[in-house]
Structure 1
């Protein structure tokens, strides 16, 4: 397995089978052009994307930079091989290189595989929180 940063729209579109919905070229291009956004893709021996992790570097005037692990996905046929952990650790390494003081991820408390992956990569449980959202766009805003 090899982990590489996605640098082209083609890289992002090739991982389509790992996403929740179909990607769009314009969204992929915007993702790549957005400072602080990154996606690392794990490639199987056959060169096909086996998993990905996306992160967003977030800045604040009184806190500095931190990394949000936005999404982690591993193809079902490649699970339980350490790919999720390797991707998480690769994102954390990137966060350290960028000078981030910390990293975080929101995860459902009943998502045992994700919790196990994050714990195996050294995360600590910072407690339960409620997440609220504001839908701002129609269906065009989501896959």
Structure 2
């Protein structure tokens, strides 16, 4: 397995099977151009097998932390440690960037994600609820 940072929209398009939908060119370019955005892709024999995205979040009285935005491993490559490796690679990158920590929101019934993050050293910080404001395009 080889984990590399995505730097081009073409890399994201090639890995779009790992996303919830197709990678749009304009959104891919915007993601890659935004400071603090990061996408790591795990390749097995040259094939995109998993990805993790992170977004730096900064605040005047806290500094900068990394949000693990999304983790995905192709079904055919699961249970091989790819998710844990991607999570650890993102944590390493966050530390190298000077982040004071990293966090992820996880559905409490997502046992696979919870196991992956625990195996990568995350600790339970308690239950929280999330509220959203969906905007129609």
State the TM-score, normalized to the length of structure 2. 0.99
In the TM superposition, residue 23 of structure 1 has moved relative to its aligned partner by 1.2
In the TM superposition, residue 115 of structure 1 has moved relative to its aligned partner by 0.2
Question: Equivalent residue for 1:141?
Answer: none
State the TM-score, normalized to the length of structure 1. 0.94
**What are the equivalent positions in structure 2 for 1:22-37 lying under 5 Å apart?**
22-37=22-37
In the TM superposition, residue 113 of structure 1 has moved relative to its aligned partner by 0.3
Poorly superposed stretches of 4+, deviation over 6 Å: none
> Structure 1 residue 15 and structure 2 residue 15: aligned?
yes
Tell me, in whole angstroms, the C-alpha distance in 2 between the residues paired with 1:73 and 1:65: 24
Structure 1 residue matching 2:90: 3-state secondary structure: helix
In the TM superposition, residue 34 of structure 1 has moved relative to its aligned partner by 0.4
In the TM superposition, residue 48 of structure 1 has moved relative to its aligned partner by 1.1
Count of residues in correspondence between the two structures: 137
* Residues 23-59 of structure 1: per-residue CA shift (max 9 Å, x gap): 10000000000000000000011x1100000000110
Identify unmatched segments of 5+ residues in structure 2.
none
Structure 2 residue matching 1:38: 3-state secondary structure: strand
Tell me, in whole angstroms, the C-alpha distance in 2 between the residues paired with 1:2 and 1:135: 36
Identify unmatched segments of 5+ residues in structure 1.
139-143
* Residues 73-104 of structure 1: per-residue CA shift (max 9 Å, x gap): 00000000000000000000000000000000
In the TM superposition, residue 131 of structure 1 has moved relative to its aligned partner by 0.1
In the TM superposition, residue 22 of structure 1 has moved relative to its aligned partner by 1.1
Tell me, in whole angstroms, the C-alpha distance in 2 between the residues paired with 1:120 and 1:112: 12
Question: What CA RMSD, in Å, does the superposition of the two structures yield over aligned residues?
Answer: 0.6
